[in-house]
């Protein structure tokens, strides 16, 4: 009789989680850092890493209260991992004494950290003795209270003075798994019935949106392999219909910066568009191709730099252009909590410059009377309203039409920025621009 695989020791998972945290601190994306973990460890490490990123501000503040000098990077990463996992007893995934024991074991088992095992053991045991006082002492820290970098919190306070607290609270919540029903293959109501028949609780949103009560593997979704449904955040599902409205039945459309292909597919699902998808990264373009293949859709896929259309454009103007511009991804930190610790404030200006360059490069490709949707999954104004306001000010032929604007992450009808209601979706910015005829 097979006993099955032996359970993975917690110290191994903590060791790998600390390596992931350290990699992001050095500039790697959390996705890449987790993918580098051994397959047997990866699911557990991803869950632990997400918990750590959502509590890292508090952990770093506690570490500063416990030590007089910053530990070496590898040791500090493991110390902060342990503190992030254990500081809140109600949310801790393991018993505190187990975490201390296994964190120390993880340090002992690695040559780079073995010499610091006793030091970390002393820090963690002191934390357990003085937990209430140490937590109270760090409550006044913006970074500890909100679990975001101080610069991030202060920027939101300036830019969204009425909503910054709700935005940060939403960013630390677990996001829903959100689906987009393929309008060519199913209706929302009938798909909800299929889910219910399988015991998968779900509720409808606007248009083709369905929210699942609990995330499930895509292999459990009826018709997923056949392209009946896709996973896509509700805010991201606004892009295609916003662009297509008023363009006619068979517009010629450009999807710039197209990977991973969700918006490309949505454009094709909703119309008879002739879609050209541009993506700079050839590997990411493969994901677009895979997405379209699963859905049984076709587009012209081209690897190229959206800011340099002279390298790939055939000279025929487009009726519509969707520019989902590279950005800080500050609006999707509830799905990618590593982003808040990966980004630096200087990244905002650098990315805003890139966005402006792409806008300038693509605008001449739009026919007079054509429309462009500019969007980012960012909550920072420099990547949203300020970017578009500057562009319109520099282009007399650009008219900013009514469009969603800044959508903050959150849940419920009462979550608003200005007059823009949000449901349960990520933070986005949308601007619809029309090219005036001469």
Q: Among residues 80, 327, 375, 377, which one is catalytic?
A: 377
285 contacts: CB under 8 Å, gap ≥ 6: 258, 259, 277, 279, 301, 303
Question: For the residues of 71-140, what is the DSSP string, one character each?
Answer: PPHHHHHHHHHHHHHHSSTTT-SS-HHHHHHHHHHHHHTSTTTGGGHHHHHHHHHHHHHTHHHHHHHHTT
Q: Is 280 exposed, middle or buried (0-12, 13-18, 19+ CB in 10 A)?
A: middle
Question: For the residues of 166-202, what is the DSSP string, one character each?
Answer: HHHHHHTSPPPEEEEE-TTT--HHHHHHHHHHTT--E
DSSP state of 410: B
Q: Which two tokens stand for residue 307?
A: 């800011």
Alpha helices in 182-330 (DSSP H): 188-197, 239-244, 262-270, 282-295
Q: Omega of the bond prior to 260 within 30 degrees of 0, cis? A: yes
Is 257 part of the annotated catalytic residue set? no
Alpha carbons 288 and 60: distance in angstroms, whole number: 38
29 alpha-carbon distance from chain centroid:
11
Q: Is 341 exposed, middle or buried (0-12, 13-18, 19+ CB in 10 A)?
A: buried
- The residues annotated with a catalytic role in the active site are 377
């Amino acid at each position: 009789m097979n006993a099955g695989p032996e359970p993975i020791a917690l110290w191994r998972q903590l060791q790998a989680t600390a390596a992931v945290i350290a990699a992001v601190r050095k500039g790697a994306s959390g996705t890449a850092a987790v993918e580098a973990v051994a397959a047997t460890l990866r699911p557990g490490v991803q869950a632990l890493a997400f918990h750590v990123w959502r509590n890292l501000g508090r952990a770093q503040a506690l570490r500063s209260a416990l030590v007089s000098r910053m530990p070496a990077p590898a040791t500090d990463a493991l110390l902060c991992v342990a503190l992030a996992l254990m500081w809140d007893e109600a949310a801790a995934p393991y018993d505190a004494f187990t975490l201390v024991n296994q964190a120390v074991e993880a340090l002992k088992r690695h040559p780079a950290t073995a010499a610091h095992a006793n030091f970390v053991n002393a820090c963690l045991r002191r934390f357990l003795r003085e937990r209430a006082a140490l937590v109270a002492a760090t409550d006044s820290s913006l970074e500890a209270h909100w679990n975001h970098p101080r610069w991030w919190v202060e920027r939101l306070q300036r830019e969204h003075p009425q909503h910054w607290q709700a935005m940060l609270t939403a960013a630390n919540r677990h996001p829903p798994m959100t689906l987009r029903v393929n309008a060519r293959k199913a209706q929302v109501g009938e798909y909800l019935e299929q889910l219910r028949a399988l015991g998968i609780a779900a509720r409808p949103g606007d248009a083709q949106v369905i929210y699942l009560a609990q995330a499930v593997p895509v292999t459990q979704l009826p018709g997923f392999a056949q392209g009946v449904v896709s996973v896509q955040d509700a805010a991201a599902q606004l892009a295609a219909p916003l662009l297509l409205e008023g363009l006619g039945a068979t517009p010629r459309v450009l999807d710039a910066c197209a990977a991973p292909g969700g918006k490309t597919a949505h454009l094709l699902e909703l119309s008879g568009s002739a879609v050209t998808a541009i993506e700079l990264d050839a590997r990411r373009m493969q994901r677009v191709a895979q997405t379209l293949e699963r859905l049984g859709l076709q587009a012209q896929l081209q690897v190229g730099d959206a800011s340099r259309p002279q390298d790939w454009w055939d000279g025929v103007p487009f009726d519509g252009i969707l520019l989902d511009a590279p950005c800080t991804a500050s609006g999707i930190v509830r799905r990618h909590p590593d982003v808040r610790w990966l980004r630096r404030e200087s990244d905002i200006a650098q990315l805003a410059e890139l966005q402006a360059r792409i806008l300038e490069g693509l605008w001449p490709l739009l026919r007079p009377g054509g429309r462009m949707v500019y969007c980012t999954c960012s909550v920072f104004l420099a990547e949203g309203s300020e970017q578009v306001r500057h562009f319109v000010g520099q282009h007399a032929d650009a008219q900013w039409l009514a469009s969603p604007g800044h959508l903050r992450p959150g849940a419920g009808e009462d979550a608003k920025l200005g007059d823009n209601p949000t449901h349960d979706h990520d933070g986005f910015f949308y601007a619809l621009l029309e090219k005036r005829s001469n």
